[in-house]
A and B are shown apart, each in its own frame.
Chain A
């Protein structure tokens, strides 16, 4: 079943320096029990997209979309009040980036989760308490820890507590924002391992927003790559890592270190992302793309299917094999400076 269906999401921020198109015609679907990764670097629009889904955008943001549906509910037709009452927490919940600091230090962890449950449902205190025990079991925390205060938890335990809270009302979709950013590698490894186990026990789909390609590889079933406000490529994770099509995805692959390949030299993508003025005509990656053609600057490429469920927005998607070969050469990326 399709959990989330988004068609042509757009967000424009109105700033003192003029409008900024932070999200531009983004379309994707999250199915059943998927973990859908949204990967992008700073300024790619991934955080804006996430805030749009949760209605956390500031008033300076202008949102439009052709369709946005959660399990058949038309979210566009819903006002903020009904969204908060009917959807938020119950159907779509969030694990914030600073999950470790999101708990209130002066209340017991279990009480905070009970409070969230009771604020959003009609569950009795007793039932809520049982639910907390159940949730702690799913996230791998001992029952008795519900009586603890956040400072008695390690960072990883606090993160699990936040995940327990996000699961409290059995939502169909959980949005996780950079679940491991800033953590040490051993902690990160443990959290990713736990997330995989927890996901197997829950019914929810997950949207995982991150800049970290390795986290995508470890956890996600599908991934969408964002660049300068647009989705440039999306598809099943294996296909995306084994045979990417978009030059930006190819560049990311070159730039990301792999400890197993001692001899491979890393190659950066030269340049930096473009200014996000609305109405841009050219492909957003054209200025940094080593394979750019004149027509890339005249029209933005549309998303096209290259395989089942795998889409790419690039005019040269048909030549992917050749581009993949060229992209491995350091010279290719130098010449586009």
Chain B
């Protein structure tokens, strides 16, 4: 059984114009489908990457999995149990097992808490252990993330560098021994020279403590060597899914191919091919009959504007693709 089973997950937000705007300019209520029909499974010990541009629904998907946002439709099963059916008590227990590492270590730590209290806050709030046991576990956790407790336990966030703060963020997420960790762009605010170190720390702890990771980012190059499976999202939908290495080696969806072509390369002699995509932005409000990517797709044909494509296996079993032309593009 998969650790996490996400089935046809959707989230709609309603944009209600004010009464005045409705009367004067005839604006009507509009809906944004931030997440539409997202389905995937995550096994124990697996690291899954989710990649996509801002507004693709990756963070909303994570918020629903973490139990912070109710889905508009679809189910999330954790060890076979539907988290939508959880009462308050079960939800608390669930939150212990599913933890988040936040993007910004400058914003996510309480500026008035010392490191020890910051990391102990979660277990204390959940009433997990006695104070003595909490102390023991927090100190061990700090050592595990590379912050020697003697030097760090009494520090405040402002006395630490960005990398040290993100280590505190990781310790806070891991101390209650979660089975699933959601890391939403955990490296993007950090200096380049230390990013790999923080990523490797997370990777090593995931192996040692056997938790699964959902790793969300718009940066494919840093996922390399860390994530196993990869999901590519565009305007709320999964457009391509498969193993990281197969997708990077052979992207099948035109959007995935464009994303890969746009990845910055630190080599002044390298001249990239211009990504084969219409230079426009994703428009979440446009209501389309066909494929959501069609307005930016250079290959789009008639059917793409008429019928929404399904996510389906491509010729190669390691990938599935949401594209009418998937057989032609290979």
Contacts and interface: CB of A to CB of B under 8 A. Distances in A.
Interface stretch (B33-41, B60-68, B213-221, B300-308): B213-221
Given A259-B220, A265-B225, A272 B192 contact: no
A42 B264 contact: no
B263 A241 contact: no
Given A241-B267, A262-B245, A272-B164, A252 B193 contact: yes
Interface stretch (A54-62, A107-115, A181-189, A320-328): A181-189
A291 interface: no
Contacts of A298: none
Contact of A268 (B161, B197, B224, B263): B197
B262 interface: yes
A213 interface: yes
B196 A267 contact: yes
Interface stretch (B121-129, B272-280, B284-292, B319-327): B272-280
Contacts, number: 120
B329 to A, nearest CB: 19
A215 B264 CA distance: 7
A258 B265 contact: yes
Contacts of A259: 220-221, 224, 248, 260, 263, 265
Interface string B234-277: 00000000000100100000000011111111111110101101
Contacts of A262: 224-225, 245, 248
Interface residues of B, number: 44
A186 B197 contact: no
A211 interface: yes
Contact of B264 (A188, A241, A270): A188
A156 B282 CA distance: 13
B53 A256 contact: no
Contacts of A310: none
Contacts of A269: 193-194
Contact of B219 (A185, A186, A218, A266): A185
A217 B264 CA distance: 9
Contact of B272 (A189, A220, A252): A189
Contacts of A73: none
A277 B272 CA distance: 43
A241 B268 contact: yes
Contact of B266 (A241, A267, A268): A241
A184 B279 CA distance: 13
A295 interface: no
Contacts of B200: 266, 268
Contact of B192 (A154, A187, A213): A213
Contact of A255 (B196, B260, B279): B196
A301 interface: no
A81 interface: no
Given A186-B53, A189-B275, A268 B264 contact: no
Interface residues of A, number: 43
Contacts of A156: 281
Given A184-B218, A185-B263, A251 B279 contact: no
A67 interface: no
Contacts of B221: 257-259
A255 B192 contact: yes
A155 B263 CA distance: 19
Given A185-B264, A188-B262, A258-B265, A268 B194 contact: yes
Given A238-B268, A241-B268, A253-B266, A268 B193 contact: yes
Contacts of B265: 214, 217-218, 258-260
B153 interface: no
B262 A189 contact: yes
Nearest to B272: A189
A154 B281 contact: yes
B222 interface: yes
A241 to B, nearest CB: 5
A51 interface: no
A237 interface: yes
A22 to B, nearest CB: 16
A237 B267 CA distance: 9
A251 B192 CA distance: 10
B195 interface: yes
Contact of A258 (B199, B260, B266, B279): B266
30 contacts: A41-B191, A41-B192, A41-B193, A42-B162, A42-B191, A185-B219, A185-B259, A185-B264, A187-B53, A188-B262, A193-B274, A213-B266, A241-B266, A241-B267, A241-B269, A252-B192, A255-B193, A255-B196, A256-B266, A257-B219, A257-B221, A257-B222, A258-B267, A259-B220, A262-B224, A266-B195, A266-B225, A268-B196, A270-B197, A272-B164
Q: 5 shortest A-B CB distances, which residue pairs?
A: A214-B264, A268-B197, A266-B196, A257-B221, A189-B262
